Amino acid sequence: MLRKTRGAFAALVSILMCAVGAARAADEPLSLSMAVMPPRVLQAAISPDGRYVAAIATEGVGGLTLIDTESLKRRRVDSGRWANYGSSRYYKEPRQVRWINSELMAIDYGLEAEARDLDGKLVRRLGAAVIGKALANEPESPLVLVFEDEDHEEVARVDARTGRRQRLSVPMSGKPTRWAFDEQGELRAVTMSSAGFWADTAQLSHWYRSPLTERWEKLLDFKVTDDTWRPLAAETADNRLIVLSRQGRETYAVFAYDPVQGKLGEMLAGHPTEDLYVLDELQSGQYESVVTHGMKPQRHWFNGRWAGLQKAVDEAMPGHVNQLSGDPQGRVLVFSYADVDPGRWFLLDSRTMGMRLLLEAAPQIQPAQMRPMEVIRYAAPDGLSIPAYLTRPAGAAGPRPMVVVVHGGPAARDHWGWNAEVQLLATRGYVVFQPQFRGSAGFGKSFEQAGNGQWGLAMQDDISAGVEHLISQGIADPRRICIYGASYGGYAALWGLIKTPQLYRCAVTLSGVSDIGERLTDWSDTNADKASRELMRFHLGVQDPARLDQVSPLKHAQRIQAPLLIAHGDRDRRVPVGHSQRMMKALDLHKKPYEWLELENEGHSIRLLRNLYKFDAALIRFLDTHIGTPPAAASAPP
């Protein structure tokens, strides 16, 4: 059936994509108001019977909208409102929706989760957050798995109709950090973390409850820095675990694990150069697909029907990541997004291959007006191949002003897809360069561990090599390059001005680390958790204060010569604002000019709309002043 209708299906999809993608002037910059505007729709889910789509909307007071997939009529069934939580008040609005069965929805509100019916009526309070369905093979079952507490240390199986709950407790001491369930929603594996009050490190252990004995047995003791495995699910019929591991290989893959023999067995899915991850891995007992973690994500199905649908949709909507959910033999919800498209939801009838547009994440964005993200590679000074994203502005070829955007972490990464900040810059005439330097996650063990101990050294050299490569290719104007980043990226921006002043005309640091040695002792949430602190020390590689001072911007403030914008949230618990405050004192001491932007009531990431607008406006003004040409008059703040 797919072969017979695929050509007509592709033509239909092309019409739908064109209908919503008509652009205004191709060279018109993305306005600041449009860039910071929250998505109109955050998330959507289709009911097991395919009759309804539930969507989290942000318009007005925000809330939950239900769409009838037959008539396409929609109605609001839940809205944001102020509510009591313990002794405090908070704004309670839907943040995520899952279908429990075809008549009940599980709605997460951030601090609590509830089951509601098709009219939005409260049926039962579920807990702090929903994990997923308890019985993966029974779509109409009312049983769900939930976290009982805000810290996600206690789980329970709850009947969403009756409210009956069974706490799935463990007898071991310590703090649970990971859970794995079987097909019946039984807790079968758990990862525990324990540390004495005066201990400087955390001890972790994997435990398993066999369906043969129903007794908890320890499988493995390990440290947070050990290259081990993590449980995903349990299969009771074979008395085995499904785990994610890269033991004996470069990249994370899915394996069967034999708890009796205590070793990895068959590799179920893997990729030689890209890590895998599993969607909804806590959903009880089963997984149907894996996603590669390369420069462009790809989903791989184990179910042949799903695989066929995925191929048909991908061929009809090339250049997009297309996420499918629902019934592969009935109605399917397709979420399609791209580098130039924040995303849209389509309703696909897999029997006729007819498709209709349901929702748009950001209808104010015109995809044809945006700039594509290219995937490039270049060589580091030691020959290591470095992947990167490159977004070029419209217009004639030739050297253009460039913004080097360095991601945080540093054991993190950028992703291909819609990025409002990248588009904000690219549509204003800036080349945007996002290097995935050594130490970035997702590209294999050797690549990630090559970053250990390389703050300010090889990691910074990777960034510099990318800049020099783009200059040599005639893409970047060597006189108009600015480096910008947040968190670790903010550190790299500061250090770029110090280590390679010839490359950068200016720098912007947001929530940046200025003193690496201080990271080992500051009052951050990283240091508050022993496992996180140990992992941070592992990545830093050295703890000698003298060596850390050699690559700490705070200790070399006198070497900064270029314009600098410093921004920080006053409630940042990851990198306390003291890092920026001390950096400014050092700059003042050496009479070095800078601009300061304090983000009030803001943490490590910018979450408040007013602060996002404030920062992006300052960023654009700063860049236009030092490396660009001011664009047309900016729009009014939202």
pLDDT in tens, 500-530: 999 999 999 999 999 998 887 777 777 767 7
Task: Tell me if 197 is assigned to some domain.
Answer: no
Question: Any idea how long the chain is?
Answer: 638
Of residues 364, 370, 365, the one with CA closest to residue 393: 370
Task: Tell me if 55 is assigned to some domain.
Answer: no
- For position 521, what pLDDT does the model report? 77
What are 194's strand-pairing partners? 203
- For position 245, what pLDDT does the model report? 94
- For position 253, what pLDDT does the model report? 93
Cβ pair 27, 39 in contact under 8 A: no
SS3 state at 206: strand
State the burial class of residue 627 (Cβ atoms within 10 Å of its Cβ: 0-12, 13-18, 19+): buried
Angle of helix 2-21 versus helix 304-316 axis, rounded to 10: 40
Task: Tell me if 511 is assigned to some domain.
Answer: yes
Any idea which of 94-108, 129-143, 191-205, 257-271 has the lowest mean pLDDT?
191-205
pLDDT in tens, 453-475: 999 999 999 999 999 999 999 99
Cβ pair 130, 106 in contact under 8 A: yes
Three-state helix/strand/coil letters over 573-612: CCCCCHHHHHHHHHHHHCCCCCEEEEECCCCCCCCCHHHH
Taking residues 296-318, what's their average pLDDT? 92
- For position 631, what pLDDT does the model report? 44
Task: Tell me if 280 is assigned to some domain.
Answer: no
- For position 10, what pLDDT does the model report? 53
- What is the chain's percent helix, strand, coil content, to nearest 5? 20, 35, 45
- For position 103, what pLDDT does the model report? 96
pLDDT in tens, 178-210: 999 998 889 999 999 886 554 556 789 999 999
User: For residue 450, what pLDDT band results from cuts at 50, 70 and 90?
Assistant: very high
Higher-pLDDT residue of 597 and 183 is: 597
The rounded mean pLDDT for the chain is 89
- For position 545, what pLDDT does the model report? 85
SS3 state at 143: strand
Higher-pLDDT residue of 92 and 112 is: 112
Number of domains in the chain: 1
Cβ pair 161, 197 in contact under 8 A: no
Type of residue at 517? G
Task: Tell me if 614 is assigned to some domain.
Answer: yes
The DSSP letter of residue 332 is E
SS3 state at 556: helix
Counting Cα atoms < 13 Å in the Cβ hemisphere of 235 gives 12
Task: Tell me if 559 is assigned to some domain.
Answer: yes
CATH number at residue 526: 3.40.50.1820
Cβ pair 328, 350 in contact under 8 A: yes
The tokens of 402 are what?
């460039």
The tokens of 231 are what?
């449980």
Exposure string for 241-265, b = 16+ CB within 10 A, e = fewer: bbbbbbeeebbbbbbebebeeeebe
Type of residue at 565? L
Cβ pair 404, 463 in contact under 8 A: yes
Type of residue at 554? L
In the predicted structure, residue 632 carries a pLDDT above the cut 60:
no
User: For residue 258, what pLDDT band results from cuts at 50, 70 and 90?
Assistant: very high
DSSP for 471-494, written as a single string:
HHTT-EEEEEEEEEEETHHHHHHH
Instruction: Tell me what percent of the residues of the chain surpass a pLDDT of 70.
Output: 91
Of residues 440, 439, 435, 442, the one with CA closest to residue 452: 439
Beta-carbon count within 10 A of 591 CB:
7
The tokens of 37 are what?
């505007």
- For position 15, what pLDDT does the model report? 47
In the predicted structure, residue 384 carries a pLDDT above the cut 80:
yes
DSSP for 79-115, written as a single string:
E-EEEEETTEEEEE---EEEESSSS-EEEE-SS-EEE
Of residues 475, 474, 424, 498, the one with CA closest to residue 483: 498
Beta-carbon count within 10 A of 59 CB:
11
Instruction: Tell me what percent of the residues of the chain surpass a pLDDT of 90.
Output: 66
Distance CA 179, CA 565 (A): 43
pLDDT in tens, 2-56: 444 455 455 455 545 554 554 445 568 999 999 999 899 999 999 999 999 999 9
SS3 state at 203: strand
**Token pair 């398993």 in the structure block, residue:** 208
Task: Tell me if 285 is assigned to some domain.
Answer: no
pLDDT in tens, 399-415: 999 999 999 999 899 99
Cβ pair 209, 191 in contact under 8 A: no
Taking residues 120-132, what's their average pLDDT? 93
- For position 316, what pLDDT does the model report? 94
Distance CA 493, CA 536 (A): 20
pLDDT in tens, 75-99: 999 887 777 777 777 778 889 999 9
The angle subtended at Cα 473 by Cα 467 and Cα 475, nearest 5°, is: 70
> What range does the domain containing 609 cover?
377-626
Task: Tell me if 570 is assigned to some domain.
Answer: yes
